[in-house]
Amino acid sequence: SAGIVEDPHKSRFLRARINYGATSSLTAGGGVEYLSSVTQEPAMPFINTSLRVFNNLLFSGEYTYGVRTKSTLTYRFTSNLQIDLNYTRYNKDQKAINLNYTEERKLALSMPLRIRNFSSYQRFTFYQVIFPLSTYKKGEWLFSGSFFGVNTNLSTYASFIADTKPTVYSNLSLALRLPELFVIMPQVQYEYTRNRLLSVKLALEKRLLTHGFLNMSYEYDFSSNRSMVEVGFRFDFSFAQTVLSMRQHDNKSTLMQYVRGSLLVDKKTKYSGYDNRSNVGKGGISIIPYLDLNANGSKDPGEPKVYGLNLHTNSGRVEKSEPDTTILILGLEPYTHCFINLDPNSFENIAWRLPIKTLSVVVDPNTLKYIEVPIAVAGEASGVVSLYENGEKRGLGRIIINFYTSNHKPAGKTLTEEGGYFSYLGLAPGSYIVRVDNVQLQKLGMKPDSDALLFVITQSTDGDIVNGLDFTLHKG
């Protein structure tokens, strides 16, 4: 990516990077940034890595020579509680980023909460900045939810600076739908430190002509004793938003009008579309789910794309392209991490499995990053374990069955049912060996008629099924 920075020097900016997926859990990369306003060393090489330690634990880090070191650690619990740890350390002599502090530390806890008809999202954030001679701390509690049909957003902030009294204030905004397509939106800002109102605002919006919105608002700022009245009209086309607004403030009238929208084009996925919101400077991700027929983790010719994958992200908006099954995540802030949770229950075919359920993707500006998601096709093997005794055969339950690859590595295990039947779903295409567990047989004093059976799982879009893997056990 490249561009001109809006600074007094009109600095030229260039960023080039390359990433390599070393394994399904590890990605490493590097590149170089160039900024012409940095006179001593305008070229700044960097390296980065991303590691999925467990399915719910992600680590990413980046080091830019002579500028900074930053890292992110994210863990998501089964309750959907997510913890994010961010740490950044800046070189004290760096000139690339116009900052006068040396360290940034951030801890964030976020969790959705649902109780009957009440649903909410909460996030607690602690932010610390280290200056050469002082420290700045900031805390934030964000509450967003719907309660009895009222959309509620409450943000509380606390700032702590050395040798000064903390500043604590809240911003509460509500949105209530009224009859005749009216929406009323009151908002209030209150400072706890001085026990005073900072500002109040009341907005009213009326939908017209399906995609048109007439809005009126009144705002009063108690700290400056100033008021503002605004009347406007917005019409949303599928490709652009048009706004006409008149504002009265400090005995001055302002007329404002604008049209905004964006065109999205991605050569790699051959996607083209438009949006009525601005995407300049934003980033995006193209998710390409496909059937990994040969289980090698990469998309090969002839492997088809898959429709129906569901996912959830911590930011952006998700759009699905019906014709080619591409999933787009748009409107992402650049140079941040987008965490994507893939739903393993997306597909009706139980043979389709997701080897990877969590992704962490670094967002680049003005770019749709291409991510291929393999869908493994699991094969199934089944049979019956019987006990031959007194001239009769009967099914035997709770017998351990072990599966191995052709090079004798464990591939899975299962237990027989009450009637001796067993099945195991989760085998990639290839050759396998199935055995009755020898340790258990020794304890039971039994021997099988066959020590092992060989079978092959072939490539198939629906998953291959192998039957008839039967064992007969004898006592003695």
Same domain, 325 and 400: no
pLDDT at 459 over 90: yes
310 confidence band (pLDDT: 50, 70, 90): very high
| Residue 291: pLDDT over 90 | yes
Full domain range(s) for residue 437? 379-475
CA distances from 56 to 25, 52, 342, 358 (A): 12, 8, 12, 7
* Element housing 443 (H / E): helix 438-444
The dihedral sign for the CA sequence 419, 421, 422, 423: negative
Instruction: Determine which helix (DSSP H) or strand (DSSP E) holds 444, and give its type and residue range.
Output: helix 438-444
Contact present, 58 and 74 (Cβ < 8 Å): yes
pLDDT for position 100 = 84
- Residue 268 counted as domain residue: no
Please tell me whether residues 87 and 214 are part of one structural domain. yes
Same domain, 250 and 220: yes
End-to-end CA distance of the chain: 74
Name the H helices within 154-258.
none
CATH number at residue 129: 2.40.160
Q: Where do we find the tokens 């990516």?
A: 1
Report yes or no on 221 lying in a domain: yes
200 and 349, same structural domain? no
pLDDT tens per residue across span 30-67:
999 998 888 778 899 999 999 988 878 889 999 999 89
Instruction: Decide if 125 contacts 111 (C-beta within 8 A).
Output: no
Q: Is 24 exposed, middle or buried (0-12, 13-18, 19+ CB in 10 A)?
A: exposed
Same domain, 361 and 383: no
Domain-embedded: residue 127: yes
Q: Rg for the chain (alpha carbons), in Å?
A: 30
pLDDT (average), residues 122-146: 92
Show which of 377, 408, 432 is a domain's final residue: 377
Assess if residue 14 is contained within a domain.
no
Inter-residue contact 416 to 399 (CB < 8 Å): yes
Left if phi > 0, otherwise alpha if psi is -120 to 50, otherwise beta: which for 220?
beta
The domain boundary residue, chosen from 330, 348, 377: 377
**Looking at the domain assignment, is residue 408 inside a domain?**
yes
Residues 198 and 184 in one domain: yes
Both 363 and 388 in one domain: the answer is: no
Q: What is the mean pLDDT of residues 171-181?
A: 94
Same-domain check for residues 159 and 228: yes
Residue 52 and residue 73: Cα distance in Å, rounded? 10
Average pLDDT over residues 449-470: 95
Instruction: Decide which of 377, 408, 440 is a domain's last residue.
Output: 377
CATH classification of the domain holding 405:
2.60.40.10
3-class secondary structure, 439? helix
Cβ distance 241 to 259 under 8 Å?
A: yes
Per the structure, the count of domains in the chain is 3
Question: Does 387 lie in the same domain as 370?
Answer: no
Total Cβ atoms within 10 A of residue 40: 8
20 within domain boundaries: no
pTM of the model: 0.65
Together in a domain, 369 and 403: no
Where is average pLDDT lowest: 5-9, 47-51, 180-184, 280-284? 5-9
Q: Is 129 a member of any domain?
A: yes
Please check whether residue 25 lies inside any domain of the structure. Answer: no
Domain check: are 335 and 426 in the same one?
Answer: no
Alpha helices (H) along 226-286: none
- Give the chain's count of helices (H) and strands (E): 1, 37
Report which of 47, 57, 59, 50 is spatially closest to residue 24, judged by C-alpha positions. Answer: 50
pLDDT digits (tens, 9 = 90+) for 440-452: 999 999 999 999 9
Phi and psi at residue 112, in whole multiples of 5°? -80, 145
Is 319 in the same domain as 457? no
